[in-house]
Amino acid sequence: MEQNRIDANVRCPSCNGQLYPRVLVCDACGLKIEGNFIQNEFGSLTPDELHFLRVFIHCEGRIRDMEAALGVSYPTVKTHLASIKQKLNLSSPRPVPAAGGAVSDQAKPGEELPTEEILDRLQDGRIDYKDAVRMLRARKRGAGNGKQG
């Protein structure tokens, strides 16, 4: 009965406040659980923002692929990413720990990333300009010492 469902992103029609789930129902057996449920941060995103994130994941974070998929320019993609990042409270310049506790997109000491990976990380905002330059210069110094790169 998909047609009888209400979009969970709907706002309060009286005051435009955030609505929160209070009842969960199993369609298979009819079990109802009532309580004060917590929404995850993605519950605050609009359907358009969720679509944008689906495209982002489908394109594996490659902005140039997102430009083609969405039919928009690079600055438009970056603007949408920045907006969603702010809405999810991810605007901090510090790396965000992964679910397993791993941190940072920086190369580990002694690890050299391929140039394309460094550029992808820069383009996707996972590293900043200074980090990219530092990493590329380290590669260049390594190549000058007989290392392959």
pLDDT greater than 80 at residue 137: yes
Contact 113, 107 (CB under 8 A): yes
On average, the pLDDT of the chain sits at 79
- At 149 the pLDDT is 45
Mean pLDDT score, 52-68: 93
- At 111 the pLDDT is 58
| Reported pTM | 0.49
Rounded to whole angstroms, the Cα distance separating 74 from 123 reads 10
Side chain identity at residue 91, one-letter code: S
- At 92 the pLDDT is 57
pLDDT greater than 60 at residue 136: yes
- At 117 the pLDDT is 81
pLDDT greater than 50 at residue 15: yes
For residues 129 and 56, the model is more confident at 56
Nearest to 135 by CA among 89, 61, 146, 120: 120
Cα atoms found within 13 Å of the Cα of residue 54, Cβ hemisphere only: 8
Side chain identity at residue 123, one-letter code: Q
The share of the chain scoring above pLDDT 70, in percent, equals 77
SS3 label, residue 15: coil
- At 143 the pLDDT is 65
- Using a 10 angstrom Cβ sphere, with 0-12 exposed, 13-18 middle and 19 or more buried, the burial of residue 77 is buried
Q: How confident is the model at residue 66 (pLDDT cuts 50, 70, 90)?
A: very high
